[in-house]
Amino acid sequence: MGSSATAVIDRIVAMRTAATTIENADGASGDVREVIDSIRAAYHRDWTRQKLTFAREFLSRTWAGIPLPVLSVCGHGTQEIRYSAYLAYFLDGSKPHGLGTRYLDALLAFLRITGIDTYQAIVETEKWLGQIPGKSKPVSCYCDVVITCGDLVLFIENKIKSGESANPNSEASQLRRYDEAIRGNPLFANKELVRIFLTPGGRESSRSPNWRGVSYGDLIGVGIGVLRDGGLSTTARENLKRFLIDLSLGPLDRAEDEIQTMVELAQAATGSGAHFTDRLRFDQTVGRNSLLVNLLMEG
């Protein structure tokens, strides 16, 4: 079967009903059944050639378990304040995670910010930005993570499941309140200001154009880049992997049992006499958890 047949296979694999369609095709006409058998055989050939090695490697990487994702295991997978502190820890080069400033440097590179010396960066959580006038009393503003690198200040406001917080004493949205507080704080005068609105999907704020949308997937991608750059100690590598796996299991709402499901599907897909649906389900589950799979395959 040529490229046109491969295109047909790709379409079938992409369809959520593909497995059911093929498994229930016993009552189809002889010609239809012959086409289905031909497609299934081509799929198996392509899978063996292109994915069998990957599936076996996935099994070898996970057979002894995975780096323990502490927050997710402890049931704090969606508590913003814990993940904000967790993120700040790995962005702080003075902490004993073994990464130095590599993760912060990689994040700045992702943001296309260059020429910044991060060696003496100051990383603060729940940073007081200042006060703004309110209806009956001043409104204090606190940002989840604030990083000061010389003349650069990076603000990160983290929202895992909620939107911008309302305040009964102000009509302004949360990020607009922060903008006003930043403008009125002399600490931030004459600085380059970069504002990040961090959410699972990287959505932009509809009310404040000053804040750039960044996703948890972006943070994971930045970390995978650090892992692939090499030069990390075993401890640093392990610490970073635990952090990134936690990001993928917590804010991105991936359950740990997804990993076990992938392991079981990989075992079925690579076994003798593997069924079409075993391989199809493995492909679909891997696609649904691509960032997590990339992390696990880093070894």
Q: Which of 11-20, 227-236, 278-287 has the lowest mean pLDDT?
A: 11-20
Q: What is the DSSP code (8-state) at residue 203?
A: P
CA gap 226, 121 in Å, rounded: 19
Which is it for strands 152-158 and 139-149: parallel, antiparallel or unpaired? antiparallel
CA distances from 264 to 110, 167, 203, 267 (A): 35, 48, 34, 5
CA gap 106, 21 in Å, rounded: 46
DSSP 125-139: EEEEEEEE--SSS-E
User: Which stretches of the chain are assigned E, i.e. beta strand?
Assistant: 122-132, 139-149, 152-158, 192-199, 211-215
**H/E element, 80:** helix 80-91
Read off the pLDDT band of 284 (50, 70, 90).
Answer: confident
Q: What is the mean pLDDT of the chain?
A: 81
Q: What percent of the chain has pLDDT over 70?
A: 80
For residue 63 the two structure tokens come to: 């057979």
Task: Tell whether the model's pLDDT for residue 67 goes beyond 80.
Answer: no
pLDDT value, residue 245: 85
Complete edge-to-edge strand list for the sheet that includes strand 122-132: 122-132, 139-149, 152-158, 192-199, 211-215
Contacts of 234 (CB under 8 A, 6+ apart): none
pTM greater than 0.85: no
Mean pLDDT, to the nearest integer, of 192-203?
Answer: 92
